[in-house]
Amino acid sequence: MTRCGAAILIVLLLAAGLAPLILPPPDALDLAARFAAPSPEHLLGTDELGRDLAARLLHGGRISLTVAVATAVLAALIGTAIGMVAGYHGGVADALLMRLTDGVMALPLLPLLIVLAAADPVKLGVPAAAMDSEGFAIGRLVVIIACVGWTTVARLVRASTLSVRARDYVRAAVAMGASPGRIMLCHILPNIASPVVVATTLSVGNIILIESALSFLGLGIRPPLASWGNMLTGAMDVVWSTPALAVWPGAAIFLTVTAFNLLGDGLQRALNPRGDWAETAH
Amino acid sequence: MGMISAGAARLLQSLAVLLVMSFVVYGLMGLMPGDPIDLMIAGDPHLTAADAVRLKLLYGLDRPWTERWLRWLLQVLHGELGYSRLYARPVLAAMLPAMLNTATLMAASLVVTLAVALPLGIAASLRPGSLLDGAVNLLAFASVSLPVFWLGLMLIVVFAVTLAWLPAGGMAEATAGGAGVLAHLVLPVGALALAGIGQYARHMRAAMMAEAGHDYIRTAKAKGCSPWRVVLGHQLRNALIPITTIVALEVGGLFSGALITETVFAWPGMGRLIYDSVMGNDFNLALSGLLLATAVTLLGSILADLAYWRLDPRVRRRS
């Protein structure tokens, strides 16, 4: 099953990478050929503006995957930093950071993300000209989702740090006068890396779902940039005349999220055969 | 006694989270595109620049937002949630029908989900490794990977567009009576239930399996209880304790799911209200709506603790 997940992802990445070479550009309008049926020219047909559906699907996939992987990594970095400081220092720092983590976990995810995503970057000092670029659209979403997505990793890392902190090699490093920063980076981090890698992989699928929901609501990746979520918004408007348009983007989301979950489960089984990290289970 | 002080601590902690949330959201609202005074000017061509200044002073918009937040908080503590610009009525009056609609949707989907998932989970736990067990596992795995809004769209494609059996969205007018309301509920409830059944069935199976090896089950069998009585009267009663906790904890998740499902099916509930008010720059309504969503989520986790304490005498004795 793990290989299955990995295979799906490799095929997807290859297709997304090769798409610009074989398929028509994702933004090319052809109003004469709106809602075209699948043909050798347009493998999956065209959408409401005559754009090639297959090209948009793969282009959207590239964006969705970039957002999801970048967010998962950023959230893991934040969570690792917070969890390690809390677990290593204990005391007041631990109490404060863990209350913060509990507080963020207790918040309703989607309403909070809607408020975060609705904020106007111009009011934060971002030049208006930079806002239309693809990089900015992706970066904005990555930051927003990572802001609320770090809690699972933080708790996991704190628990792992607590158990590693008491080991002899850490105490030996302390006795030799290593600084807390050095102990955390050189002695603790390498020993808690596996659960973090598993939790990060498992979180990618979830982030794809969140990103697509936000884009579906018009708050994530905005048209004309394609993403699976906003392709479904477009499809919903024409669901009565062309219901087939709604099938592909959702199927792509489902397939990709399943692939990441299979991969994460497989990694967990490989890296943690005893199954003793309770908190990584989703 | 221990329970009461623990409960009070939880309650205080939740209130603190609410307070911080209101502060953060208030700050974030200031970052939304547009400005309430600009919107008023855009809405009424007779307003002059002098009026704008006067209005700004009247609403205290010349003050820093931290001070405005404090004033807003004092108002709320006096039970005054303010006026919704978008709906042109007091916030509470705008929220009540939406709250009722969302509660209907959530309750109906929870009932349907549990009514299907619990028997499925029990059946799977009685025959581990069977075809049914595999199917439950597969369903649970598939449902965590499925975007609920796409599921909703597919239900619309099949049952509203292709078969034309059910309405695609909206909510029946009051005049349509019970059958109309029910017809409009089927698809959104179906989408939410389909997304939740797999997970709950897997939880139920796990809870039943955890109880299966205990001594009291063997005792019950030894004294000659019928297999059904052992499963339903002894094993299930204990296995339901963690399930109750999970249901209470999932209230927040259900709310988020309901939010996006409401958008797909044009269901006039809290999700749509929060979305519209955030998008439409309706400060008062958005703040109250978001805080209500947070309060419901926090209440769910307190209820989870309370239920656990109430249902499991061992927890009670320890505290």
CA atoms within 13 A on the CB side of A204: 27
Most A CBs within 10 A among B19, B99, B150, B157, hence the mutation to make, goes to B150
pLDDT at A41: 67
Q: Is B16 in the same domain as B147?
A: no
| Number of folded domains that form chain A | 1
Chain-chain contact of A103 with B20 (C-beta, under 8 angstroms): yes
Distances B66 to B22, B63, B69, B83 between C-alpha atoms, Å: 11, 8, 5, 20
The per-residue DSSP string of A59-107 comes to HHHHHHHHHHHHHHHHHHHHHHHHHHHHHHH-HHHHHHHHHHHHHHHHS
- Name, in order, each residue with C-beta under 8 angstroms of A25's C-beta and a sequence gap of 6 or more: A52, A55
Q: H-helix or E-strand containing B131?
A: helix B131-144
Most A CBs within 10 A among B145, B251, B290, hence the mutation to make, goes to B145
The DSSP call for residue A49 is: T
Domain containing residue A90: 44-281
* Lookup result for tokens 């997505």: A149
- Nearest by CB to A119, which of B13, B31, B298? B31
* Lookup result for tokens 């309901």: B258
Distances A205 to A71, A200, A208, A278, B306 between C-alpha atoms, Å: 11, 10, 5, 19, 33
CA distance B298 to chain A (A): 6
Q: Is B169 in the same domain as B185?
A: yes
Instruction: Tell me which chain B residues have a C-beta less than 8 angstroms from the C-beta of A232.
Output: 149-150, 153
- Cβ atoms of A257 and A10 within 8 Å: the answer is no
Chain-chain contact of B301 with A106 (C-beta, under 8 angstroms): yes
Considering only CA atoms, which of B201, B266, B212, B265 is closest in space to residue B236?
B212
Tally of residues, chain B:
319
Distances B224 to B156, B218, B219 between C-alpha atoms, Å: 51, 10, 9
Q: Is B160 in the same domain as B58?
A: no
The token duo for B64 is 């820093």
CA distance B198 to chain A (A): 13
pLDDT in tens, B155-201: 888 887 777 777 766 665 544 566 667 777 888 888 888 888 888 99
Chain-chain contact of B157 with A247 (C-beta, under 8 angstroms): yes
CA distance B297 to chain A (A): 6
Chain-chain contact of A107 with B17 (C-beta, under 8 angstroms): yes
Which CATH number is B278's domain given?
1.10.3720.10
Omega within 30 of 0 (cis) for the link into A224: yes
Q: Is B147 in the same domain as B58?
A: no
The DSSP call for residue B46 is: T
pLDDT at B59: 67
Chain-chain contact of A250 with B259 (C-beta, under 8 angstroms): no
Instruction: Tell me which chain B residues have a C-beta less than 8 angstroms from the C-beta of A215.
Output: none
The DSSP call for residue B233 is: I
CA gap B135, B13 in Å, rounded = 41
The token duo for B312 is 């499991």
CA gap A175, A171 in Å, rounded = 6
Q: Is B177 in the same domain as B69?
A: no
Cα radius of gyration (chain A):
22
Query: Can you tell me the ipTM of this complex?
Result: 0.81
Query: Is residue A32 domain-resident?
Result: no
Q: Determine the longest span between alpha carbons in chain B, in angstroms.
A: 88
- Nearest by CB to A253, which of B142, B147, B289? B147
CA distance A129 to chain B (A): 16
Chain-chain contact of A232 with B150 (C-beta, under 8 angstroms): yes
Instruction: Tell me which chain B residues have a C-beta less than 8 angstroms from the C-beta of A253.
Output: 147, 150
Beta bridge partners of B83: B90
CA gap B91, A224 in Å, rounded = 36
Q: Is B171 in the same domain as B199?
A: yes
CA gap B170, B142 in Å, rounded = 28
Q: Is B84 in the same domain as B199?
A: no
Chain A residues contacting B, CB < 8 Å?
99, 102-103, 106-112, 114-116, 118-120, 122-124, 205, 209, 212-213, 216-217, 232, 235-236, 239-240, 243, 246-247, 249-250, 253-254, 257-258, 261, 282
Which CATH number is A65's domain given?
1.10.3720.10
- Nearest by CB to B144, which of A109, A250, A282? A282
The token duo for A47 is 């959408």
Which letter, b or e, does each residue of A69-94 get, where b requires 16 or more Cβ atoms within 10 Å of its Cβ? bbbbebbbebbbbbbbbbbbeeeeeb
Kindly identify which residue of chain A lies nearest to residue B300, measuring between CA atoms: A106
Percent of chain A with pLDDT strictly greater than 90: 11
pLDDT in tens, A219-249: 888 777 888 888 888 878 777 777 777 888 8
CA gap A205, B35 in Å, rounded = 37
Strands B89-90 and B83-84: antiparallel
Given a cut of 90, whether residue A75 has pLDDT beyond it is: yes
Instruction: Tell me which chain B residues have a C-beta less than 8 angstroms from the C-beta of A239.
Output: 153, 156-157, 161, 168
Query: Is residue A26 domain-resident?
Result: no
Chain-chain contact of A110 with B256 (C-beta, under 8 angstroms): yes
* Lookup result for tokens 């399996």: B209
Instruction: Tell me which chain A residues have a C-beta less than 8 angstroms from the C-beta of B296.
Output: 108
Q: Is B107 in the same domain as B218?
A: yes
- Cβ atoms of A80 and A153 within 8 Å: the answer is yes
Instruction: Pick the last residue of a domain from B41, B60, B91.
Output: B91
Domain containing residue B301: 98-318
Q: Is B71 in the same domain as B103?
A: no
Q: Is B187 in the same domain as B244?
A: yes
Q: Is B85 in the same domain as B128?
A: no
A34: left (phi over 0), alpha (psi -120 to 50) or beta: beta
Instruction: Tell me which chain A residues have a C-beta less than 8 angstroms from the C-beta of B144.
Output: 205, 257, 261, 282
Kindly identify which residue of chain A lies nearest to residue B161, measuring between CA atoms: A240
pLDDT at A282: 41
Q: Determine the longest span between alpha carbons in chain A, in angstroms.
A: 76
CA atoms within 13 A on the CB side of B273: 29
Kindly identify which residue of chain A lies nearest to residue B164, measuring between CA atoms: A240
| Number of folded domains that form chain B | 2
Q: H-helix or E-strand containing B84?
A: strand B83-84
- Cβ atoms of A18 and A278 within 8 Å: the answer is no
CA distance B123 to chain A (A): 23
Q: Is B233 in the same domain as B252?
A: yes
Considering only CA atoms, which of B265, B250, B243, B231 is closest in space to residue B157?
B265
Mean pLDDT of A169-178: 87
Written as tens digits, the pLDDT of chain B (319 aa) is 466 777 788 788 888 888 888 888 888 877 776 666 666 666 676 777 777 777 777 666 667 777 788 888 888 888 777 777 777 788 888 888 888 888 888 889 999 999 999 999 988 888 888 888 888 888 888 888 888 888 888 888 888 777 777 776 666 554 456 666 777 788 888 888 888 888 899 889 988 888 888 888 888 888 888 888 888 888 888 888 888 888 888 887 787 777 888 888 888 888 888 888 888 777 788 888 888 888 888 888 888 878 777 777 776 666 5
Q: How many other C-beta atoms can be found within 10 angstroms of the C-beta atom of residue A21?
A: 6
Query: Is residue A13 domain-resident?
Result: no
Instruction: Pick the last residue of a domain from B75, B91, B107.
Output: B91
